[in-house]
Amino acid sequence: MSFASRLLPARNRAPDLTPMHGAILSAMPVPVVLLDADNRFKYVNHAAEQFLGASAASLSQVRLTDLVPSDNPLFLLIDQVRRTEATISDHDLTLESARLHKTGITVQGSPVPEDPNTVLLVMQDASAARALDRHLAFRGAARSVTGMAAILAHEVKNPLSGIRGAAQLLESSVAPEDRELAELIRDEADRIRALVDRMEAFGEKPIVRAPVNIHRVLEHVRKLAQTGFAEHVRFQENYDPSLPPVWGNRDQLVQVILNLVKNGVEAATQGSDRRPEITLTTGFQHGMRLSVPGTKQRLDLPLFVSVRDNGAGIPDDIRPHLFEPFVTSKSAGSGLGLALVAKIVGDHGGLIEVESRPGRTDFRLHLPVVTEKDADQ
Ligand SMILES: Nc1ncnc2c1ncn2[C@@H]1O[C@H](COP(=O)(O)OP(=O)(O)OP(=O)(O)O)[C@@H](O)[C@H]1O
Ligand SMILES: [Mg+2]
């Protein structure tokens, strides 16, 4: 849609909005709205049309109060902007009406000095920002495990092998009725050993990268799953065969996908009538970029891999800590799976997004692909 068609009828038009200004506003990916003194829509950009779920033409016929009930705190903000002639922002607003259902919205309102009583609103869905915060938190979460892994490896493994050996000796010498106890000690020591081994994967080793065919990784994991823990689970595959190779470490990527598929299978096979199903999808997604920590560099992440299941969704109390180590809702879970996923994806310079609701949980990885520069190495 062209800029002109989003401009509202001439009588309402902001007098100084040149085509160039309009073009810039309309290209902005965040919703921008200009309201006149009566809170009629004077201008909406393309992102705002999408956000409000209505075209510029239909918005020109209504006021903001027709979309959002007049007792919404948004109107306090707008009044305040008019009164104080200052920019004011409000976070975590809920915009709810018959036509609109938005939560966690950040709105910034600014006066337009050249056009008194006009208010400029910039709106943002905070979930996007929050998702980003969480990705950064993953890195922190993984780092706390890194240190602990080293300590555990040193301080626990040696005494543990002593305990295990002693239990084994006891097994052969104690009375038969006590043997069970000695076996219990050995088994539990083995369990701790396995846990420490898993934690060692968090160690700070530099990652060795090569071009990786992500579809081979997915196929490998699917086969592993279907011959093991996911025998009765249906797999759907939507692969984009034109994708370039990922610039990464094949074994680590197998670990990532395996952990996600295992979680998906565990969720989908838990107490639901639905047939458990895992959907693996790959594709291009342009416009995903991430800053490289400590540098001004931006990394393009054009490739995504999604692992989706039809289970009950992520429990509410787990969500805020999903990627932290030792967070689990499972009686036999260690809660290390997703912490490891976050660590490996972070090491690859990638990003994870999660969307979950009952019946559909989607873990989406955004990964870097091989560039000419990498291929030359
Ligand atoms: N696909 C999913 N659907 C619903 N909940 C999930 C899903 N993936 C993860 N979770 C929730 O996140 C928690 C943490 O997952 P994570 O993989 O880190 O540990 P775990 O699966 O409990 O144990 P481990 O992976 O060490 O066996 C899970 O216990 C579960 O509550
Ligand atoms: Mg897991």
Q: Top-level CATH class of 3-125?
A: alpha beta
| Highest-scoring range by mean pLDDT, 8-17, 101-110, 146-155 | 101-110
Ligand 2: centre distance to CA 333 (Å): 7
230, 221 Cβ separation under 8 angstroms: no
Classify residue 361 by its DSSP letter. E
* Ligand showing the shortest atom-to-Cα distance for residue 329: 1
Q: In which residue ranges of the chain is CATH 3.30.565.10 found? A: 210-376
In this prediction, residue 4 carries a pLDDT of 40
pTM over 0.75: no
Q: If pLDDT is split at 50, 70 and 90, which confidence band does 12 have?
A: very low
| Residue from 263, 321, 336 to probe ligand 1 pocket by mutation (most atoms less than 8 Å from CB) | 263
State CA 333 to chain mean position distance: 22
- Higher model confidence: residue 97 or residue 14? 97
Can you list the alpha helix ranges (DSSP code H) found in the chain?
3-6, 19-27, 46-52, 56-59, 64-67, 73-84, 126-155, 157-173, 176-200, 214-227, 250-268, 337-347, 372-376
At 211-266, the pLDDT tens digits run 999 999 999 999 999 988 999 999 999 999 999 999 999 989 999 999 999 999 99
Q: If pLDDT is split at 50, 70 and 90, which confidence band does 10 have?
A: very low
Q: In which residue ranges of the chain is CATH 1.10.287 found? A: 130-200
Query: Phi/psi at 187 (nearest 5 deg)?
Result: -60, -40
Ligand 2: centre distance to CA 354 (Å): 15
What CATH architecture does domain 210-376 belong to?
A: 2-Layer Sandwich (3.30)
Sequence-ordered list of residues with C-beta below 8 angstroms from that of 173, at least 6 positions apart, any chain:
none
Ligand 1 proximal residues by C-beta, below 6 Å: 259, 263-264, 267, 309, 311, 313-315, 318, 322, 327-330, 333-339, 361
Residue nearest atom 5 in ligand 1 by C-alpha distance: 314
3-state secondary structure of 103: strand
| Residue from 260, 317, 321, 338 to probe ligand 1 pocket by mutation (most atoms less than 8 Å from CB) | 338
Q: Top-level CATH class of 130-200?
A: mainly alpha
At 65-89, the pLDDT tens digits run 999 998 888 998 899 899 888 888 7
Decide if pLDDT at 138 tops 90: no
Q: If pLDDT is split at 50, 70 and 90, which confidence band does 197 have?
A: confident
In this prediction, residue 289 carries a pLDDT of 65
As a whole number of angstroms, the distance between CA 162 and CA 193 comes to 12
Residue nearest atom 9 in ligand 1 by C-alpha distance: 263
- Higher model confidence: residue 133 or residue 11? 133
In this prediction, residue 235 carries a pLDDT of 97
